Amino acid sequence: MMIETSGRPNVHDTVFVEAEVDGRPVQFRAVVVNVLRDCLWLGLIKPDRRLEQVRDGVPVTLTLRRNGTAVVASERFLGHLGTTQSRLFSVAWRDTCEAVQRRAHLRVRAECPVEYVILQSALGEPGMSATGVTRDISASGLQMRVDRAVEDTVVEGDLLEVRLSLDSGMVLADASVVRVEDLTDIGPDGKPVPFAKATQKPVTAIAVQFESISDTAQDRIVRYMFSLQRMRRDLRAGER
């Protein structure tokens, strides 16, 4: 959902900053150290030499928490601050800007190989596994499509080990099942497929929420999401 927000970040707010260096995505966890009329001063907890490679005017994506949700804004890098270029920097910030607000994390459509292993279950057997493909992903969870009947998968409340395959490698996380749906005769548009075209091949959608995942793993998921968004934006621009 697109919103317009005039609320400004506060000093000490944590901001996730995403930029590009030589065509490669880089990301930093920063803290707001000063709020000015047209910009924010941000600082890294620890110096990072990659920050030295970010040039003035480069587009940046800023993600921060506000009122229990994530707000994502597209801005630009203004410059480095202080005697070192690896810790303090400034970015533009508009008083009123369009931002993308989600329930907890930005979620994008994505088809990535995924596997789950049951760790705890009220009905299934621990150790049982299945493979599938994601339907969407976020830093807080994902939904996957598995070619199995509902009764042969999992139930709400089960604890799983999820193994998500990204371009950068495998991401591991423990996750709880929050929703299970039978998609056997549901089309890509979410509507029932006409009886004449219905398939007998069972398909189940499983939505999970990450319960235990490292900051590094979450960062890799976020980087992958941003790369997908950039690619899709570039494709749309090329079609104009």
- Give 120-161 pLDDT, tens digit per residue: 988 878 889 999 999 999 988 999 999 999 999 999 999 999
pLDDT given at position 7: 56
Pair 66, 149 in one domain: no
The domain tally of the chain equals 2
| Band of residue 105 on the pLDDT scale cut at 50, 70, 90 | low
Using only C-alpha atoms, what is the Rg of the chain?
A: 21
DSSP track, 154-207: --TT-EEEEEEEETTEEEEEEEEEEEEEE-TTB-TTSSBPPGGG---S--EEEE
Say whether both 57 and 17 belong to one domain. Answer: yes
pLDDT tier at 2, thresholds 50, 70, 90: very low
- Examine residue 232 and state whether it is found in any structural domain, yes or no: no
Distance between CA atoms of residues 26 and 18, nearest Å: 6
Together in a domain, 7 and 111: no
Q: Indicate if the pLDDT at residue 54 is higher than 70.
A: yes
Examine the domain organization and report whether 89 and 125 are in the same domain. Answer: no
Please indicate whether residue 165 or residue 71 has the higher confidence score (pLDDT): 165
CATH of the domain at 51: 2.30.110.10
Which pLDDT belongs to residue 46?
A: 85
C-alpha span between 75 and 30 (Å, rounded) = 15
Residues 43 and 123 grouped into a single domain: no
**Average pLDDT for the chain:** 82
Domain boundary among 70, 102, 134: 102
Report the alpha-carbon angle 105-34-221, nearest 5.
Answer: 25
**177 domain-assigned:** yes
Residue 155 confidence (pLDDT): 93
**Which of 59-63, 71-75, 180-184 is modeled with the greatest confidence?**
180-184
Rounded to the nearest 5°, which phi and psi values hold at 239?
Answer: -85, -10
Query: Do 88 and 52 share a structural domain?
Result: yes
**Residue-wise pLDDT tens digits, 191-234:** 666 654 555 689 999 999 988 777 677 888 988 888 888 888 77
Domain with 141 in it: 107-223
Is 237 part of a structural domain of the chain? no
The per-residue pLDDT for 66 is 64
Q: What is the pTM of this model?
A: 0.56
Q: How confident is the model at residue 61 (pLDDT cuts 50, 70, 90)?
A: confident
Note the pLDDT of residue 67.
Answer: 60
pLDDT of residue 78: 96
CATH number at residue 124: 2.40.10.220
d(CA 113, CA 145): 10
- Residue 187: enclosing H or E segment and its boundaries? none
Q: Residue 225 burial by CB count (10 A; 0-12/13-18/19+): exposed, middle or buried?
A: buried
The CA-to-CA distance between both ends of the chain, in Å, stands at 24
Residues 21 and 53 in one domain: yes
